[in-house]
A = this chain, B = another copy of it.
């Protein structure tokens, strides 16, 4: 029983006759292969990554499990199409807050076509990639049973400045993410901090990226997930970091991925600041911009 996923925050989305990923009840995420060489590149990455014995196990857990490719009835009604069968990383999650962060000041690899480089270059400059070394590509932040999720639309996200990014990263771990209120960062120490928190996971990834020269991860995202309700109920945040989107991964050829590493370190710095001095940085940019008020979507517990 394939269906449109509830917790997708970025990328092509199924529904309304469009082609997009589907999930089943057994924890699989079926992603249609993109028709140009991006599809085959992503298959190549997963195949190559799965069989590479130089990837340590503590790093492997940051990647979705790969179950091969399969012909599956496509979401746009075009019949059976090839899909990547991956782990559904949100399976069993209760109202997960999710942030999709595309890492790197460059989202294009140096060997891409001139047209493609030019297109990405413009986008990286316009959005925060060039300035911050990363950009938020999608997000949903769980608010409460009554008000559901804050899930800003794409246009709003595309306009995020450095101050907006600071604010959103604070909202991600706050119990009061309402418009006009300074985020309290109540959950920062359990979601970002601690030995199993997001910061510790990002630092583990960073250590690997300081040495690994196998792959260069252009246009790849770090997904950060947590469950605020679980913090309250079970004192466990379910904080998790995953890497996704490998359609632009290329061989490292003995050189570290300095583009990804630089961006990752920048994200780590933003998160560290929230942990060390969350009451000092009161990013106000978005709060003062009426367009950046909240757009609530229904709370969905069916996941």
Contact = CB atoms under 8 A, between A and B. Distances in A.
A119 interface: no
B106 A162 contact: no
Interface residues of A, number: 25
Contacts of A253: 162
Contacts of A268: 210
Number of copies: 2
A290 interface: no
Most buried by B among A162, A253, A258, A268: A258
Interface stretch (A125-133, A184-192, A228-236): A125-133
Interface in A258-272: 258-259, 261-263, 265-266, 268-269
Contacts of A125: 110
Contact of A262 (B213, B254, B261, B269): B261
A211 interface: yes
Interface in A234-275: 253-256, 258-259, 261-263, 265-266, 268-269
A132 B258 CA distance: 8
A266 B162 CA distance: 26
Interface of A: 105-106, 110, 125, 130-133, 162, 210-211, 213, 253-256, 258-259, 261-263, 265-266, 268-269
